[in-house]
Structure 1
Amino acid sequence: MANLVVPRGLRSRYTRLIRDVVRWPFQAVADRRNTFEGKDLILAWAAPLSILVTLLSWLGLAVVGFGFILAGISDRGLAKGMLQSGSSVFTLGFLSSSESRQTFVDFCAAATGPVMIGLLVGYLPAMYSAYSEREAEVTMLQSRAGVPAWGPEILMRHVQIPGLVTQLPALYQGWERWACQVAESHTSYPVLIHFRSPRATRNWLIALLAILDAAALEVALNPSKPKSTMRMTLRAGFSCLREIADVEGIGYDPDPDPDGEIQLSYAEFAQGIDMLRYAGYPMERDPEEAWAHFRGWRVNYESLAYELAYRIDAVAAPWSGPRRTARQVLLVRTPIDRQPKTKAKSDAAT
């Protein structure tokens, strides 16, 4: 219950255990589905159901606890103690006692049940409000980042439409604020981490990763551009991931080496650069030189993003790491598959 009343990220092994136990059968069934859409439809039930199961487990533990107390202070025995406890916790009142000590315990039990239910019901609007705000930005990004979102496609789409590239700083500023809001809400209510988007091809983590990659690419490719907005977005983004990782119990290096290795290969990086070059994105550095700078930024967030994407089984996207089932990657169309074949078609589409 501390997760509901204390406005800060608390790690609760009990609630994590309940969440994992509830999720396991859904995950087992989802892993056998042939399409990611079918998989997502099954997994969408796991997180909301875990909230209900958590409440029921709280009430059940309260019944057991008060039952042992009543059995210990009376001669009714454990079975009748549990019945009397359940009668009080659920405010049914069909079994009680006139003995003062038992009456006091009954009052405490009768207050516990409604308080637990009231706390959870009272905080549900706050949780769903945070979820709605998160998904609104993810949905808005769809037209700018593709489906599923990808960092290079953000830059490609902005450079292809005249005048749109000037909106990139505002986009980064909005996502800097979004990252701070998600860090606060998802550490206060960790179950939101596992709430899935309304559409299978959208995901909050993949959207954030795309924004971070786009900002890192701009910093790496064009050193003469003003960097303050992009750098602040990058820092807000990987700080958000680190705070969520603390709640999830994921380890990370708080001060990684900028020259350290990352899982993204240079070949994958070059593929994204080729797409940007084809779209006419201006580049001051060549790919080999930009790779070192891009890697220096990505080392701050890549491992956390990959681990979280694997845990929540996010939609497969370029530059987002492996998933539980290899076939998932093959069933989702990546942004590069949708590019026009000729420059003429590109201009017409624009």
Structure 2
Amino acid sequence: MVLAVVKAVAGGTIVVAVWLSVLLTVFTPRGRPSRLVRGTLRVFAYSILPIAGRLRHRVREPLADLCAPLTLFTVAAVWLGASWAGFALLAETPLREAEWASRLLLLAVVTTYLLRFVDAYGRRERLVARLAGSVCKPRDADGLLAVFLRTGSRDHLDTLFAEWTGWMTEVESSHVAHPTLTFRRPAGDLDWLKAAVIVLDVAALTEALAPSWAPAHTRALLDTGTRCMQRLTAGLCIRLPPITVSLQGREERNFSDTLRLANDAGLPVERDQQAAWAVFQGLRTGYAPHAYAIETRLHYERDEVPDD
């Protein structure tokens, strides 16, 4: 009798724990993944990424890309296996009859979770793919700003900033709540972190050179993008020292050339070079070092390809 009660209590506890984990992970992440997801992802990331980082790009990408799917399917397997074990302990109780209903609901929830993951990944990559048609490296931000100034208008630039503000907000919420998305590799040659830096650089240059002319969404994009990059960095347990100058991706770009290009393209420059540089660096150090630290942690760096 005592053994039966102990088994029933243990089984009920396991089933309740499974469903609490499911609900916290899928429906109410509250900006923080469950311990099961964090622990599983950490195991695969710490096992796979150090090995992948030693390999060439052709092998590194598919190997490193296993972190996310392995985590997802392992978490799903733990839920299903623990649920089965819990109901096995409830075999001699009336609650055993609820096993099939629980199993079907669990399968439906796991399917929903996977579909949400795929959908969030697709939304992240679609906007990056559109940008990739115009730029490929952070230093291309200068050219992108010039193109908008010459062929578009202030309103078109504001539309770009508004669109990417929404993208930053969505990436922040989805990748912080479901960190497996951070480990999902880019779909194209332009990765999502470099794309974010490019657009943020356009906004930072606009704010640094012409603050009163800058479109309405300029500050919103900079604030949202900076918070996004810093939260993702914290989620990976990356701690950066105080940084006063950020040249990542812009080592070959002289700021005087940037100012001249923007001025020639029609931007009403309101600050001199020294003042604009100080403002630009004050903004860029908030996001660019964080984005590059994440790239380094995830081994996004590519093998060097000689220029034609």
TM-score by length of 1: 0.67
User: Is 1:12 equivalent to 2:1 in the alignment?
Assistant: no
Alpha-carbon distance in 2 for matches of 1:278, 1:245: 34
Counterpart of 2:219 in structure 1 is 231
Alpha-carbon distance in 1 for matches of 2:141, 2:278: 21
Counterpart of 1:84 in structure 2 is none
Counterpart of 2:60 in structure 1 is 39
Paired AA for residue 107 in structure 1:
E
Residue 297 of structure 1 and its aligned partner are, at CA, apart by 1.2
Counterpart of 2:207 in structure 1 is 219
SS in 1 for 2:103: helix
TM-score by length of 2: 0.75
SS in 1 for 2:128: helix
Counterpart of 1:312 in structure 2 is 298
Contact residue 183 and residue 240 of structure 1 kept, 8 A: yes
Contact residue 238 and residue 300 of structure 1 kept, 8 A: yes
Per-residue CA deviation, residues 40-90 of structure 1 (Å, 9 max, x unaligned), is 2322232123211111122233344555x46xxxxxxxxxxxxxxxxxxxx
Residue 237 of structure 1 and its aligned partner are, at CA, apart by 1.1
Alpha-carbon distance in 1 for matches of 2:105, 2:168: 32
Counterpart of 1:22 in structure 2 is 44
Counterpart of 1:208 in structure 2 is 196
SS in 2 for 1:331: coil
User: Is 1:189 equivalent to 2:171 in the alignment?
Assistant: no
Counterpart of 1:342 in structure 2 is none
Counterpart of 2:11 in structure 1 is none
Counterpart of 1:168 in structure 2 is 157
**262 and 7 in structure 1: CA distance in 2 versus 1, 3 angstrom threshold:** same
User: Is 1:48 equivalent to 2:69 in the alignment?
Assistant: yes
User: Is 1:3 equivalent to 2:58 in the alignment?
Assistant: no
**267 and 113 in structure 1: CA distance in 2 versus 1, 3 angstrom threshold:** closer
**250 and 105 in structure 1: CA distance in 2 versus 1, 3 angstrom threshold:** farther
Residue 302 of structure 1 and its aligned partner are, at CA, apart by 3.7
Counterpart of 2:143 in structure 1 is 156
Q: How does 1:21-170 map to 2 (within 5 A)?
A: 21-34=43-56, 36-66=57-87, 69=89, 102-144=92-134, 146-147=135-136, 149-150=137-138, 152-159=139-146, 162-164=150-152, 166=154, 167-170=156-159
Contact residue 210 and residue 270 of structure 2 kept, 8 A: yes
Q: How does 1:257-296 map to 2 (within 5 A)?
A: 261-262=243-244, 264-265=246-247, 268=250, 271-273=253-255, 276=258, 279=261, 280=264, 284-296=270-282
* Structure 1: stretches of 5+ with no match in the other structure: 71-96, 254-259, 317-327, 339-350
* Structure 2: stretches of 5+ with no match in the other structure: 1-21
State the aligned residue count.
280
Contact residue 156 and residue 275 of structure 1 kept, 8 A: no
Contact residue 161 and residue 217 of structure 2 kept, 8 A: yes
Structure 1 vs Structure 2: percent identity of aligned residues?
25
Alpha-carbon distance in 1 for matches of 2:47, 2:30: 30
Alpha-carbon distance in 2 for matches of 1:65, 1:197: 39
**105 and 310 in structure 1: CA distance in 2 versus 1, 3 angstrom threshold:** farther
SS in 2 for 1:288: helix
SS in 2 for 1:123: helix
Counterpart of 1:331 in structure 2 is 304
**32 and 250 in structure 1: CA distance in 2 versus 1, 3 angstrom threshold:** closer
Alpha-carbon distance in 2 for matches of 1:265, 1:181: 27
Residue 250 of structure 1 and its aligned partner are, at CA, apart by 5.3
**37 and 168 in structure 1: CA distance in 2 versus 1, 3 angstrom threshold:** farther
Alpha-carbon distance in 2 for matches of 1:111, 1:250: 42
Alpha-carbon distance in 2 for matches of 1:266, 1:221: 20
SS in 1 for 2:217: helix
Per-residue CA deviation, residues 119-161 of structure 1 (Å, 9 max, x unaligned), is 11023222222221221110111123x22x41x4133144257
SS in 1 for 2:253: helix
SS in 2 for 1:135: helix
Alpha-carbon distance in 2 for matches of 1:19, 1:117: 21
Alpha-carbon distance in 2 for matches of 1:141, 1:301: 19
Paired AA for residue 41 in structure 1:
P
Larger Rg: 1
RCO higher in structure (CA 8 A, sep ≥6):
2
Per-residue CA deviation, residues 290-321 of structure 1 (Å, 9 max, x unaligned), is 2211122123324432332233333x4xxxxx
Counterpart of 1:241 in structure 2 is 229
Residue 247 of structure 1 and its aligned partner are, at CA, apart by 4.8
Alpha-carbon distance in 1 for matches of 2:111, 2:51: 30
